[in-house]
Amino acid sequence: MKKRRVHNTNLILPIILALLIVVTFFIFKSSNFNQQIPDVVEIPKEVQESIKNVKPQKYLRVPILLYHYVEYVKDQGDTIRKSLNITPYTFDAEIKTLKDAGYEFITTKDLADALDDKITLPPKSVILTFDDGYRDFYTDVFPILKKYNVKAVVFVVPNFLGLPNNLDTWMLAEIAKSGLVEIGAHTMNHAYLSGLPLARVKFEVEESKKTLEKILGVKVVSFAYPYGAFDNKTIDVVKKAGFRSAVTEISGTFTLDVNRFFLYRIRPGGRVETALLDLLERQNLAQH
């Protein structure tokens, strides 16, 4: 009898611990991961079909880097923000790495100009792109761009302007005026465009261009698909709206006339020096 009771007592603690772990896991899972819509990282089948027999006439190799947050994250429990973030210190080191390696910083508009034979790109060109128009673009990124005198592109969601986490209109106006930053559109409401009714796609795409042009008094010619989600209908609407290129979240460095409306990008993460340069020169990224 005595022996058995000791045995049972010894089991209580591990059982409580196991239960705690399971409960914590489910709380963590429901509070963080369910809110994230997965990004589209492959060319949709119908788009692959439509370009199957198209022979590319143009071939450029320009790494387009994709950033979201660049800041010192205050809320350490904000796992989504942390996963999309690099610190300003790391971002500064990345720019220094690229500059020292002889990279020149161009914009997506420059890339479109090169595809249209209006300009010739420097042999080592790179594009920095920032999605969503977060407030830290003004407070943390912009000062570093000015410090190194390098260009970048920010893709803005007009209906997010003025929210606590996002740029104020006056910040965006100052950024646009600097001559260093091209302003691109990212739909009116950060909409997942693929599969939406045509009228809604048209509204999200066309209005985002018109609204930004009206606010800033500049031409907006570059587009980024929220969540990287696009299909043939979306591409058609983006083209007809007057955009000259569009970026996705498909990994790669190759720009053809064929994929100018679904350009590939690379996530540099926290890589600096050799790790970053290797990533940009890697050949085994999507080449399509």
| Position with the least CB separation from Zn ion | 131
With binding defined as CB under 5 A, does residue 63 bind Zn ion?
no
With binding defined as CB under 5 A, does residue 131 bind Zn ion?
yes
Lookup: tokens for 174:
């100052």
Site for Zn ion, residues 22 to 61, rule: CB under 5 A:
none
Q: What value does the CA radius of gyration of the chain take, rounded to a whole number of Å? A: 22
- Least distance (Å) between residue 187 CB and Zn ion: 9
Is the separation of the CB atoms in 192 and 234 below 8 Å? no
Q: Which residue from 61, 54, 66, 59 is spatially nearest to 250, judged by alpha carbons?
A: 66
Q: Which stretch binds Zn ion (CB under 5 A): 52-60, 203-211, 222-230, 276-284?
A: 222-230
Binds Zn ion by CB under 5 A, chosen from 226, 228, 252, 268:
226
Query: CA distances (Å), 192 to each of 37, 174, 187, 262, in order?
Result: 9, 29, 9, 15
With binding defined as CB under 5 A, does residue 132 bind Zn ion?
yes
What sign has the CA pseudo-torsion 8, 14, 15, 17? positive
Q: Which stretch binds Zn ion (CB under 5 A): 96-104, 120-128, 212-220, 224-232?
A: 224-232
Whose Cβ is closer to Zn ion: residue 71's or residue 131's? 131
Whose Cβ is closer to Zn ion: residue 131's or residue 182's? 131
Q: Which stretch binds Zn ion (CB under 5 A): 29-37, 129-137, 198-206, 250-258?
A: 129-137
Lookup: tokens for 246:
């569009």
Lookup: tokens for 284:
């085994």
Residues with Cβ within 8 Å of residue 79, at least 6 apart in sequence:
32
With binding defined as CB under 5 A, does residue 204 bind Zn ion?
no
With binding defined as CB under 5 A, does residue 249 bind Zn ion?
no
Which residues sit at the interface with Zn ion, rule CB under 5 A?
131-132, 226
